[in-house]
Structure 1
């Protein structure tokens, strides 16, 4: 979700928040297709390190991104407590492996702030906005930056 997307929508945005490595993140709920329990992914050779593998989603091969690895943190263990958030951005669909889903948040756009510009922060490019809800800092993910490049999946 880019700043332009946020500004062009309504005066409110709905976000699905989730936990990852003790921190809270969120994605635009309009990009969420479903939330699934943990399913072991089949590894693919030559896939980027953050792609855990693929799963069969009702006859469709779905890449599963270990969001922790993508953001530079230790990998998600992958057990019954974890969930896969199935997201779609344009024609691309992928699963995001996270620790747990937290909440659905409806926030005024005015509560979303741009992240600080920190050149040394590699995860900065994956975050489109920040917000504070009940004293918790929640990062809004930029799905276009997080999802695997479709050309690298086929490599």
Structure 2
């Protein structure tokens, strides 16, 4: 099972007013927390399959998968974020993402639950510099972490890719 996501040309789409920049986000769950990333950075969503182990890889690396002839590293976001994943969860999926600098990898999450329009002006920044979160946003009555995808992918996979 794979869900392909159509990619647009620009990460932000203006809606209505000049200062309201609305970004379509995909919302997923890791442990008990919800996170989101821009939909335009998502290539596809795949059912979690067995990965090939990578010797001497950090604990957050599940292994590698073959995606139509391309070998991709899969990151267990729960291990990276130091949260307990949902136990015996058959809904775990791999979100294939591409960072702004072109690094493609898979991120293992407990489940994808939603797509939402997020006003960039409503994201409240977190205080930690270099954090994997760019901020928090309210969607309805839920507080959702906005994952800083370039930071996460750069830390987890980018440093291992030779230039």
TM-score by length of 2: 0.79
- 1:104 is matched with 115
- 2:62 is matched with 52
Higher relative contact order (CA 8 A, sep 6+): 1
Kindly report which structure 2 residues correspond to 1:1-155, keeping only aligned pairs within 5 A, or say none.
Answer: 10=14, 11-74=21-84, 80-89=90-99, 90-115=101-126, 117=127, 125-147=131-153, 148-152=156-160
Paired residues of 1:34 and 1:85 also in contact (CA < 8 A): yes
More helix by percentage: 1
* Divergent runs of 4+, >6 A: none
In 2, Cα distance between equivalents of 1:114 and 1:23: 17
| Deviations, residues 6-55 of structure 1 (Å, cap 9, x unaligned) | 8x864111110001101100111110000001111111001111110000
What is the Cα-based RMSD across aligned positions, in Å?
Answer: 2.4
Structure 1 unaligned regions, length at least 5: 1-5
Paired residues of 1:47 and 1:153 also in contact (CA < 8 A): no
Question: SS in structure 2 opposite 1:110?
Answer: helix
Question: SS in structure 2 opposite 1:25?
Answer: strand
Paired residues of 2:26 and 2:114 also in contact (CA < 8 A): yes
In 1, Cα distance between equivalents of 2:88 and 2:48: 7
Paired residues of 1:37 and 1:80 also in contact (CA < 8 A): no
